[in-house]
């Protein structure tokens, strides 16, 4: 398994948070137009997928500096 830097993890968390918020809002808008209730597990799934994808993109490109 690849080791990721703290910087790569932090960047992936930021990217995943932003993407998950958009996906959650889309789902909530869909649900509010009907009689369905929003499932919060969808937000966790969206975050998890976005985080893994972001880590793949950032891997090896953003090493931790000696000052961190």
Q: pLDDT by residue (tens digit) across 8-67?
A: 999 999 999 999 999 989 888 887 777 678 788 988 999 999 999 999 999 988 888 865
Residue 44 is predicted with a pLDDT of 93
Residue 38 is predicted with a pLDDT of 79
pTM above 0.95, yes or no: no
The answer on pLDDT for 68 being more than 60 is: no
Distance, CA of 19 to CA of 5 (rounded, Å): 21
Distance, CA of 15 to CA of 13 (rounded, Å): 6
Helix (H, G, I), strand (E, B) or coil at 49: helix
Distance, CA of 43 to CA of 40 (rounded, Å): 5
């Amino acid at each position: 398994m690849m080791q990721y830097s703290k910087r790569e993890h932090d960047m992936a968390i930021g990217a995943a948070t932003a993407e998950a918020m958009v996906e959650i809002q889309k789902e909530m808008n869909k649900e509010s137009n009907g009689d369905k209730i929003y499932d919060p597990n969808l937000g966790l799934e969206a975050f998890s997928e976005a985080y893994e994808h972001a880590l793949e993109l950032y891997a090896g490109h953003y090493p931790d500096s000696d000052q961190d």
